């Protein structure tokens, strides 16, 4: 068992800290935000993530997990300090590392004994070296520490499972001692032969960005193919399914829709482009991924415009606000620019999401938030399905048509068979199979 301090109780810090406690370590999750720590100490969560509350409760009850704002004291007591603070995009696309460097300064001021400083936050190549310089400059002369990179690969909505059953553990370390310590931190995974990748810090930092950029590229590619399918009369589902049968491609992340969002892919793709520019290299493919993804949101809006050209004074219902199902995260959600465009065109926006409405109210407090699915579509002139929540997959189309002002549906997640919806009396648009399905009708 290792004594660990995790600085940052956001998505990454809270899931990682709780998971490390579940592996048998003694973990204190730390934050300067007193309100968040108060919430956690009351046995509640500041974020919504399936399965996390139960794992927090279990590890708090065993005494392995605690929460505090006394960052300095717990740094001094810990053997291993994880940095898990946010690295949002700056205006130029680079990762804002101010929180990371502030933590590094705090660690330097509280360095006692041998310390392993582990970067869990997603950071550009060279951040580990800069952390090392900050600590060296500000700590007492002769202080003994090592900086390690240990990027996370958590999917929102499945983060607890991903932490406990990872595809791989990546560790960037310069020493055999650092490798041994990290093997012990993740001992339950090491014992069951989970793949461990040991490399230098710089490579570990880049692995995270490369992984996310590739997945974002795959999503963007199939969306581009979906748009081509609409033009030529092909079925993107059959295209994607057949592509996925090729072992070199695989079917994962070949699901057409309104574009990727969330806290990772958008900022990480932009940050990777900024890293390249910093080395005087233009990452053309990466830049195009961002541009095509942003355009995909307006592609969905144009589908609505084709079915309902005059939006002035019309009521449009959005089913789903989170960037994907099983999360309340609306960061970079396709719903954000679509709401903005609807307002610009003079439409009244109504919305329902099982868990993300409170999150969206921080961005758009003035839209109409409904209490349920069928309440949200009553009197509406159109409905757009933006998130693939399971409860949106089995809608009573007859009931919806009966209460809507006009039966118009834009299915941005392809949850329905086009023929079935059209036979129910709807004007219907989907992604990558519109003209194909019309030919079959």
Active-site residues, by number, are: 264
Helices and strands in the chain: count of H runs, count of E runs? 19, 14
Whole-number Cα distances in Å, 375 to 125, 316, 318: 49, 13, 12
CA-based nearest residue to 272, from 224, 334, 211, 199: 211
Pair of tokens at residue 15: 């899931």
Cβ density class 152-188: b for 16+ within 10 Å, e for less: bbbebbebbebbeebeebbbbbeeeebeebbbebbee
Identify the three-state secondary structure at position 29: strand
Separation CA 219–CA 299 (nearest Å): 15
Q: Are 301 and 121 in contact (CB under 8 A)?
A: no
Angle at 41 between CA 38 and CA 47, to 5 degrees: 75
- Please provide residue 381's backbone torsions phi and psi, each rounded to the nearest 5 degrees: -95, -15
CA dihedral 84, 89, 90, 92 (to 10 degrees): 140
Say how many C-beta atoms besides its own lie within 10 A of residue 193's C-beta: 7
Q: What are phi and psi of 224, to 5 degrees?
A: -65, -45
CA distances 199 to 169, 272, 352, Å, are 11, 19, 46
Strand order in the sheet with 80-83: 65-68, 26-30, 3-7, 80-83, 115-119, 145-149, 169-172, 196-199
122 and 96 Cβ atoms separated by less than 8 Å: no
What sign does the CA torsion over 370, 373, 374, 376 have?
A: positive
- φ/ψ of 293, rounded to 5, equals -65, -40
- Tokens representing 78 are 């810990």
Q: Which two tokens stand for residue 427?
A: 């004007």
DSSP state of 78: -
**DSSP letter at 95?**
B
Do residues 153 and 162 make contact, with C-beta atoms less than 8 angstroms apart?
A: yes
CA separation (Å) from 433 to 223, 226, 307? 12, 7, 16
């Amino acid at each position: 068992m290792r004594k660990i301090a995790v600085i940052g109780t956001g998505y990454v810090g809270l899931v990682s800290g709780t998971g490390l406690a579940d592996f048998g370590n003694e973990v204190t999750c730390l934050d300067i935000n007193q309100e968040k720590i108060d919430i956690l100490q009351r046995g509640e969560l500041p974020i919504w993530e399936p399965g996390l509350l139960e794992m927090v409760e279990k590890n708090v009850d065993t005494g392995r997990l605690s929460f505090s704002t006394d960052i300095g004291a717990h740094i001094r007591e810990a053997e291993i300090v994880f940095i898990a603070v946010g690295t949002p995009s700056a205006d130029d696309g680079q990762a804002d590392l101010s929180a990371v460097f502030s933590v590094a300064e705090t660690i330097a001021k509280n360095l006692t004994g041998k310390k392993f400083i582990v970067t869990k936050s997603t950071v550009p190549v060279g951040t580990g070296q800069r952390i090392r310089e900050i600590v060296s400059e500000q700590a007492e002369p002769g202080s003994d520490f090592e900086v390690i990179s240990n990027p996370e690969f958590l999917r929102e909505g499945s983060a607890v499972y991903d932490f406990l059953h990872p595809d791989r553990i990546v560790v960037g370390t310069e020493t055999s001692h650092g490798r041994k310590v990290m093997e012990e931190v993740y001992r339950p995974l090491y014992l069951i032969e989970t793949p461990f990748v040991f490399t230098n810090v710089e490579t570990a930092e880049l692995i995270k960005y490369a992984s996310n950029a590739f997945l974002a590229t795959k999503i963007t590619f199939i969306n581009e193919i979906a748009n081509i399918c609409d033009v030529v009369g092909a079925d993107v589902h059959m295209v994607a399914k057949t592509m996925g049968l090729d072992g070199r491609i695989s079917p994962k992340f070949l699901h057409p829709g309104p574009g990727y969002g969330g806290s990772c892919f958008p900022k990480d793709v932009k940050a990777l482009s900024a890293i390249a520019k910093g080395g005087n290299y233009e990452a053309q493919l990466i830049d195009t991924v961002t541009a095509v993804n942003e355009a995909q949101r307006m592609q969905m809006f144009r589908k609505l415009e084709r079915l309902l050209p005059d939006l002035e004074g019309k009521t449009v219902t959005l089913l789903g606000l989170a960037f994907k199902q099983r999360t309340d995260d609306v960061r970079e959600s396709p719903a954000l620019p679509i709401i903005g465009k609807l307002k610009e065109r003079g439409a009244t926006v109504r919305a329902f999401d099982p868990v993300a409405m409170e999150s969206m109210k921080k961005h758009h407090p003035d839209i109409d938030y409904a209490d349920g699915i069928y309440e949200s579509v009553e009197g509406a002139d159109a409905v757009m399905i933006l998130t693939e929540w399971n409860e949106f997959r089995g809608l009573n189309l007859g009931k919806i048509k009966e209460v809507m002002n006009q039966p118009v549906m834009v299915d941005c997640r392809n949850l329905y068979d086009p023929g079935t919806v059209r036979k129910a009396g709807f004007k219907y648009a989907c992604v990558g199979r519109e003209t194909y399905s019309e030919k079959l009708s």
